[in-house]
Amino acid sequence: MSSSERNEIGLEASPSEQGQGAGARPARRQEGAPPVLEVSGLSSAYRSQAVLREVSFEAPQGELIAIVGPNGAGKSTLIKTILGLNPSLGGSVRAFGRPVAEVRGRIGYVPQRESVDWDFPTHALDVVMMGRYGRLGWFRRPGRKEKAIAMECLRGVGMEAFAERQISQLSGGQQQRIFLARALAQEADLYFMDEPFAGVDAATEKAIVELLRRLRSEGKTVIVVHHDLATVPDYFDSVLLLNVSLQAFGPTAETFTQENLQRTYGGRMAFAAAAASPSAAESGSAAAAPLRAAEPASASAKGAEA
Amino acid sequence: MNGLWNSFSALASDPNLRWIALGCMLLGLSSGMIGCFAYLRRQSLMGDTIAHTALPGICVAFLLSGTKSLPLFMLGAVAAGIVGTLAIRIITARSRIKPDAAMGIVLSSFFGVGIVLLTMIQHSGDGSQSGLDKFLFGQAASMIGSDVQLMAGVSVVLAAACTLLFKEFKLLSFDPAFAKGAGFPVSVLDFILQALFVTAVVAGIQAVGVVLVAALLITPAVSARFWTERLGRMLALSGLFGMVSGLLGAWISSQVSQLPTGPVSVLAAAALFLVSVVFGTKRGLLTARLTRREARRRLLLHAAEAASSASASSSTSAKEAG
């Protein structure tokens, strides 16, 4: 692998747009270029319950995009259905203008940390090397070259000192970084990340944000399921508000509005408040709950959502 | 000691015994390797279920053919084993029944059918049926050359498949969603692994029997986990434990009359498990205790250092600490 190729995956590039809110920079939209991801009319169900209803959007290239919505809104289901990990009930997905199955080599995926057994007999470097398996093809074992790439990716998330560490002996934030490094090793152009910020400490969160910005500066597109409303304007260029059906999608500055958030979270929260305390609902304090959710800058929005 | 050695050399020189020992060792090797994946995928009880579901397959194969032929029995057992696994999969996918309950239902109902058929066959008065009940507990010692060769051949194929598809099975066991996202045909891989697993169970039934064969798949794998934190080494160790168990089973049973080879192999595997639980270098009880003691010693040392440095400023506090 040449050094220019390595630069392409962004490991040696310096974070260029650090500290700049997405609202301050204009969204890069290239007219005419095929969208990186084209989702139309995507639906999914669990038993008889609709989990996704007719979701359509087009993701532009080179942006950090947040998927935001209340619990059970189908955020994880959306990216799993796009990736074909979940059966869809209808609709179509095209990435780089082609069906997803044909371009898997250009798509990276970071599952939720809880989705695997961290007691598995393996070490950090080995997990990162799994990011290379798709490119190796059948039967071939990873060799020196794959090891070097994986090590580079570990360095990219600041975990090179833990390469030989058994994965159960890593902290939650470190495990998350390992998963990100594994996705880096995939050398993809489009990334899906399922709650990478869940349960990590401030230092790891900062490292992840730097990594996301580095990927963006390389022209990669990253779609992130995100929970913390307070940080959305800071971290993301575009936001997709989801509650079973698509509520709003567009540049964060225009889309992340009180009105849209109220629509996404509102009904559910009023219902939750009424169910939890009927007397409060009668006295009218339940009406205050949706308003809290509609203040994305306040830290209480995160708690109210739960 | 001389007697021991003589008995061991008899194992190597007697052609029949040699075949049985070799067959049991290869069976232990392949079962141990495949068992690692089953254990890590939390399908430890799958082996037991498949073994029990195989019994009606053996009986039906006998009823249809009317002859006692091991390859036919194995075919019937594999078919029934696959039907059993599919039944579990359908039950868990289409209803809210959890895998453990589904396994319990499938295991007991298939085994029930198997026992009913076996009893019918035994009372039918057909002379050639004798020996079918041997599949319950196995009888490696009475296996003829061609049976052992079949078992050994199947075992070699299984071990080779595990080696060849090591990377794929590892990813499938650790993170199937990621594997699918990376473009691996996860359902095909899953089917291949299940089929290998069913084959391993069926290959072991003749030697160890329906009731005990699962032990050869799981015990070496669990034992190996106590010694290593790497999957490759775990597979190698588990295979080694399986081989040693098979060898011990063949050897001990050849020395003591009336001792069955399969169950003795299982006991040998259990003994290795006990040793691993206590002395395993990564997770053994002894290691854990030593690590804890070392940690406590360091903590006390640290506290003592802190106390002595405090005594430099105040001699009275040093007396209390001492």
- Give the nearest chain B residue to A169 (CA atoms): B229
Q: Which residues contact B140 (CB under 8 A, 6 or more apart)?
A: B20, B23, B24, B206, B207, B208, B249, B250, B253, B260, B261, B262, B265
Cβ-proximal residues to B75 (8 Å cutoff; 6+ apart), any chain: B61
Note the pLDDT tens digit of each residue in B95-114: 999 989 999 999 999 999 99
pLDDT at A1: 40
Min mean pLDDT across B58-67, B261-270, B311-320 is at: B311-320
Mean pLDDT of B18-25: 89
Residue-level pLDDT at B33: 97
The pLDDT of residue A18 is: 40
Q: What is the pLDDT of residue B314?
A: 61
- The tens digit of pLDDT for each residue in B56-83 reads 999 999 999 888 888 899 899 999 999 9
Backbone angles phi, psi at A268, to 5 degrees: -60, -40
Instruction: Determine the Cα–Cα distance for residues A143 and A156; give it in Å rounded to an integer.
Output: 20
Q: Determine the Cα–Cα distance for residues A213 and A156; give it in Å rounded to an integer.
A: 13
Give percent of chain B above pLDDT 70. Answer: 94
Does domain B2-211 fall into CATH 1.10.443.10?
no
Q: How far is CA B152 from the centre of its chain?
A: 16
Are A215 and A191 in contact, with CB atoms under 8 Å apart?
yes
Average pLDDT rounded to a whole number, residues B267-293 = 93
Beta bridge partners of A43: A90
Query: Of A264, A294, A232, A235, whose CA–CA distance to A74 is shortest?
Result: A264
Instruction: Compute the nearest-CA separation of B259 from chain A (Å).
Output: 37
Dihedrals phi, psi of B243, to nearest 5 degrees: -65, -45
**Phi-psi sector, A187: left (phi>0), alpha (psi -120 to 50), beta:** left
Contact state of A109 with B182 under an 8 Å Cβ cutoff: yes
**Helix H or strand E encompassing A240:** strand A238-243
Contact (Cβ atoms closer than 8 angstroms) between residue B166 and residue A121: no
Scan residues 218-237 of B and list those with Cβ closer than 8 Å to A: 225, 228-231, 234
Q: How far is CA B265 from CA A121, A222, B35, B117, B216, in A?
A: 26, 54, 16, 28, 8
In tens digits, what is the pLDDT along chain A, a chain of 306 residues? 444 444 444 444 344 434 444 443 444 445 556 789 999 999 998 878 889 999 999 999 999 999 999 988 999 999 999 999 999 999 999 999 999 999 999 999 999 999 999 999 999 999 999 999 999 988 889 999 999 999 999 999 999 999 999 999 999 999 999 999 999 999 999 999 999 999 899 989 999 999 999 999 999 999 999 989 999 999 999 999 999 999 999 999 999 998 899 889 875 554 433 433 344 334 444 333 333 443 444 444 444 443
Q: Verify whether the Cβ–Cβ distance A121 to B40 is below 8 Å.
A: yes
Torsion angle of the four alpha carbons A258, A264, A270, A273, in this order, in degrees rounded to the nearest 10: -100
Q: For all residues of chain B together, what is the average pLDDT?
A: 88
pLDDT at B126: 65
Asked if A116 is an interface residue toward chain B (Cβ–Cβ < 8 A), one would say: yes
Domains of chain A: 3-256 (3.40.50.300), 258-306 (no CATH)
SS3 state at A120: coil
Residues with Cβ within 8 Å of residue A150, at least 6 apart in sequence: A125, A128, A129, A131, A132, A142, A181, A185
Of B204, B210, B167, B186, nearest to B49 by C-alpha is B210
Contact A83/B228, CB-based, under 8 Å? no
Contact A84 B180 (CB under 8 A): yes
pLDDT at residue number B1? 56
CB distance from A105 to chain B under 8 Å? Answer: yes
CA distance B82 to B57: 10
pLDDT, tens digit, 9 for 90 and up, residues B206-233: 888 888 999 999 999 999 999 999 999 9
Question: pLDDT band at B201, cuts 50/70/90?
Answer: very high
Nearest by CB: B167 against A84, A109, A133: A133
Candidates B42, B163, B174, B189: best to mutate against A (most CBs of A within 10 A) is: B174
**CA dihedral of B225, B229, B234, B240, whole degrees rounded to 10:** -80
The mean-pLDDT minimum among A76-90, B133-147, B254-268 falls in: B133-147
